[in-house]
Structure 1
Amino acid sequence: MPNRWKPSPALRATFAIHAGAAVGCLLAPAIWPWALGALVINHAVITVAGLLPRSTLLGPNLTRLPPASVALREVAITIDDGPDPDVTPQVLDILDAAGARATFFCIGWRARENPALCRDIVARGHQVENHGDSHSKAFAFFGPRRMRADIAAGQATLAGITGQPPRYFRATAGLRNPFLDPVLHRLGIRLAAWTRRPYDTRCGDPDTVLARLTRDLAPGDILLLHDGHAARTADGQPVILAVLPRLLAVLREKELNPVTLNQAIS
């Protein structure tokens, strides 16, 4: 059984502000404008934290690999929004050719449509993790019950297909709300974000995407790419297919070792 959930300092402060505002208004009703102002500021801070994918204000969030992994000059390539039957097999071939390992954050409904491809990801030495069941753009507005149901459905699907229960979850676009941390705690999985994001679902220029990934690249970085919903290059190619071989070449030049999150954390 997991340990009891402990809210982050920011969430503890939120609870205290709400309790203080309620008690203060009961004891001195005239202070209600100040109490309301404190609540508005608090909610603004919490909302902004949920809009920042790398924020840890709402709870633990993996944005870099641990020191032991840094010492081994490891980086993690993470690939979201698949499996895509047209793109993912080509991504796997590129990784195989370089002897590189990656972590695929897969969408539950896509995995159910492509179970053999999910199993192939694992069979070829990579890792499948939970990117939610629906990949809803409204995920950050879900209440705790709907959020838990969506993540649990993705967890059950991916564990059933691959035989390996996911250890990590990544929210749609990294956006979330204060309900996520206790939900993940109860499900026994961790939130994972990234160090470098190239916006490759919007930008189809390989040079720009590569530059965003490799500028000041260092051991311990977690890199984000997309096999599903990938933007297209000028000639119609998914941008990940144009960028990934070049990215792997840069990693070799810098003597950086691409590993899965499990390899890095364990």
Structure 2
Amino acid sequence: MNAPVPAPGKPRHWRPTPLVGGAAAVHAGALAALAVSPATWPWAAGGVIASHLALTAAGLWPRSTLLGHNWTTLPASASARIAITIDDGPDPEVTPRVLDLLDAHRARATFFCIGERARRHPRIVEAIVARGHAVENHSQRHRHNFSLLGPGGLRREIEAAQSTLGEIAGTRPLFFRAPAGLRNPFLEPVLCGLGLHLASWTRRGFDTRTGHAALVARRLLHGLAARDILLVHDGHAARDANGAPVVLAALDTVLRAAAGRELETVTLRGAIAPMLR
């Protein structure tokens, strides 16, 4: 369950989690021990290494809240609704077809867009908004070493995407999703300063790796319940044996199943609308 936090959109005070605070205490304790007795260095080094391993493990777990607040499900007020989140676009071939599919199901989705791709395809971003969906921040360049960046690098990457997407979409993003979901302890303070909330997912289809739409759909539908956040991709989409992006058939199956279970779709910002009043 997500702990109560201020609504996104405005800078907030950063408070370290117990894991982050504990790691800082270990570092301080190691330095103090070395100052008093240099011979304790093996124990000091061991403690520091162990704390780094714990922080790294938390950063490699996309749904973890050990490094800071993380939306893994919708708030309780979302009731019988789910969120479809779509990453890595916009893509000039796939995104328009995804939009048509969403229209056919009268569904709403949240597109986590890459700033550089949005700059190359601004009309697609405008169409996403015009057709009732939300555009959120997925970094400016989707760098593979994103989780290795320091505070300055993270801020520049995220701020650039905020500026790009805000300019094109007409509304600045409220949510951020890290590339591949990987992050480090410096990310949460940066997000707090920018008024962004981290959002991951309840389950994902691995549709950038799997070329079988039925398997992708089964992963997304297994245990599907109200307030779930589902992850698929319009960018970097895997293709089936006929060359079609698997996201199309998989998403069609998921939306039909959700309707059969009387689950409506909502954007992330739509789900938290009561918090923004």
Q: Name the TM-score class by shorter chain.
A: over 0.9
Identify unmatched segments of 5+ residues in structure 2. Answer: 1-9
**How far, CA to CA, are the matches of 1:39 and 1:75 in structure 2?**
41
**How far, CA to CA, are the matches of 1:212 and 1:154 in structure 2?**
30
Q: Does 1:119 align with 2:119?
A: no
Q: Does 1:198 align with 2:205?
A: yes
Q: Secondary structure at the match of 1:76?
A: strand
Match of 1:57 among 43, 53, 66: 66
Q: Secondary structure at the match of 1:210?
A: helix
**How far, CA to CA, are the matches of 1:139 and 1:251 in structure 2?**
34
**How far, CA to CA, are the matches of 1:110 and 1:169 in structure 2?**
16
Contact kept, 8 Å, 2:12 with 2:195, in 1: the verdict is: no
Counterpart of 1:127 in structure 2: which amino acid? A
**How far, CA to CA, are the matches of 2:93 and 2:176 in structure 1?**
24
Correspondence for 1:2? 11
Q: Secondary structure at the match of 2:71?
A: coil
> What is the CA distance between 1:28 and its match in structure 2?
2.0
Contact kept, 8 Å, 2:80 with 2:262, in 1: the verdict is: yes
> What is the CA distance between 1:30 and its match in structure 2?
2.1
Comparing 24-33 with 129-138, greater Cα deviation is found at 24-33
Counterpart of 1:53 in structure 2: which amino acid? P
Counterpart of 2:95 in structure 1: which amino acid? T
Correspondence for 1:40? 49
> What is the CA distance between 1:142 and its match in structure 2?
1.0
Counterpart of 2:73 in structure 1: which amino acid? R
Q: Secondary structure at the match of 1:75?
A: strand
| CA RMSD of superposed structures (Å) | 0.9
Counterpart mapping for 1:18-33 below 5 A: 18-33=27-42
Q: Secondary structure at the match of 2:203?
A: coil
**How far, CA to CA, are the matches of 2:47 and 2:253 in structure 1?**
50
Q: Secondary structure at the match of 1:249?
A: helix
> What is the CA distance between 1:34 and its match in structure 2?
1.0
**How far, CA to CA, are the matches of 2:194 and 2:225 in structure 1?**
32
Q: Secondary structure at the match of 2:259?
A: helix
Equivalent residue pairs, number: 264
Correspondence for 1:248? 255
Q: Secondary structure at the match of 1:43?
A: helix
Correspondence for 1:262? 269
Identity among equivalent pairs (%): 55
> What is the CA distance between 1:146 and its match in structure 2?
1.1
**How far, CA to CA, are the matches of 1:253 and 1:200 in structure 2?**
23
Counterpart of 1:133 in structure 2: which amino acid? Q
Correspondence for 1:154? 161
> What is the CA distance between 1:2 and its match in structure 2?
2.6
Q: Secondary structure at the match of 1:157?
A: helix
> What is the CA distance between 1:31 and its match in structure 2?
1.6
Counterpart of 1:19 in structure 2: which amino acid? A
> What is the CA distance between 1:198 and its match in structure 2?
1.2
Match of 1:213 among 216, 220, 235: 220
Q: Does 1:102 align with 2:105?
A: no
Identify unmatched segments of 5+ residues in structure 1. Answer: none
**How far, CA to CA, are the matches of 2:104 and 2:12 in structure 1?**
42
**How far, CA to CA, are the matches of 2:115 and 2:188 in structure 1?**
20
> What is the CA distance between 1:189 and its match in structure 2?
0.6
Correspondence for 2:135? 128
**How far, CA to CA, are the matches of 2:258 and 2:226 in structure 1?**
10
1:103-132, Cα deviation, whole Å (9 max, x unpaired): 000000000011111011011000000000
> What is the CA distance between 1:3 and its match in structure 2?
3.4
**How far, CA to CA, are the matches of 1:251 and 1:4 in structure 2?**
38
Correspondence for 2:147? 140
Contact kept, 8 Å, 2:239 with 2:246, in 1: the verdict is: yes
Q: Secondary structure at the match of 1:103?
A: strand
Contact kept, 8 Å, 2:162 with 2:172, in 1: the verdict is: yes
Q: Does 1:79 align with 2:86?
A: yes
**How far, CA to CA, are the matches of 1:263 and 1:188 in structure 2?**
17
Correspondence for 1:90? 97
Q: Does 1:231 align with 2:223?
A: no
> What is the CA distance between 1:180 and its match in structure 2?
0.5
> What is the CA distance between 1:26 and its match in structure 2?
0.9
> What is the CA distance between 1:204 and its match in structure 2?
1.1
